[in-house]
Amino acid sequence: MSAAPDALREITDNFALLDEPRRPWLDPEELKQKFLARSAGVHPDRIHTAPETVRKAAGDRYAELNAAYNCLREPKNRLRHLLELELGAAPADLERLPTDVTDGFFELGRICKEADIFLAERARVQSPLLKVQLFERGHEWTEKLLAQQRELHAKRDGLLAELRSMNPAWDAVSSASALRAGLPFERLEQIYRTLGYLGRWFEQLQERIVQLSF
């Protein structure tokens, strides 16, 4: 789906702001160095003695560059921005994920519910002896949740590797070429959504790990 040229021009291109080509994967260290180089001259610490108009303009520019950097360094946000630039609109909030991914998230939901049951049980216990027994079970639960987090990390790493493998397709097509319509936008949107879910489930697991540590 293509948007009207006028709509596309209204979207700030964060890739262009940091002199990065539009592509699904960016090298984190290279991106950081480009941000530091471009923002050095307008950093508030460098121009605090300048006239107010200069400081305001520099502050606005620094904020713009900082926002672009924060957007592009986070893979999920970068994909959302890339899709918005290419298609003229951000991905819609639809629940479309591959079945195997959905099944994995259902299993995570089951594990989190069981952890919540244990936490509620532990909160009701007053006996010192039972508390010792539950402490051991709590350690087992912590290890189980940490193992799930490691699996989420592995899935995320796999998706990032897939994004990196897509870069040549983007690099081979100029930004003005009609051939860009053939780029794998649907898969890119799937990865964007999956990264979002992975992040939310990681936080759900972390919340329970923290509760178990008390």
Q: Please choose, from the candidates 70, 55, 53, the residue with its C-alpha nearest in 3D space to the C-alpha of residue 17.
A: 70
* 114 lies in the same domain as 71: no
Last residue of a domain, one of 87, 120, 136: 87
Residue 41 and residue 13 share a domain: yes
Same domain, 105 and 83: no
Domain count, the chain: 2
| One domain for residues 53 and 154 | no
Same domain? For 155 and 66 the reply is no
Q: Strand runs (DSSP E) across 81-180, as ranges?
A: none
Tell me whether residue 153 is in a domain.
yes
How many other C-beta atoms lie within 10 A of the C-beta of residue 119? 16
Identify whether 93 is part of a domain.
no
Asked if residue 69 is part of any domain, the answer here is yes
Q: Which of 87, 114, 137 is the last residue of a domain?
A: 87
What is the pTM assigned to this prediction?
0.86
Instruction: Encode the chain (214 residues) as per-residue pLDDT tens digits.
Output: 444 444 444 789 999 999 999 999 999 999 999 999 999 988 887 887 778 888 888 889 999 999 999 999 999 999 999 999 999 888 876 556 667 777 888 999 999 999 999 999 999 999 988 888 899 999 999 999 999 999 999 999 999 999 999 999 999 987 677 778 889 999 999 999 999 999 999 999 999 999 999 8
Q: Are residues 73 and 167 in the same domain?
A: no
CA–CA separation, 193 vs 96, rounded Å? 8
Domain boundary among the residues 61, 87, 113 is at: 87
**64 and 154 belong to one structural domain:** no
Structure tokens at 129: 């002896």
Nearest to 94 by CA among 202, 201, 194: 194
Q: Which domain holds residue 186?
A: 99-212
CATH number at residue 51: 1.10.287.110
CA 206/CA 43 separation, integer angstroms: 35
For residues 133 and 203, membership in a common domain is answered with yes
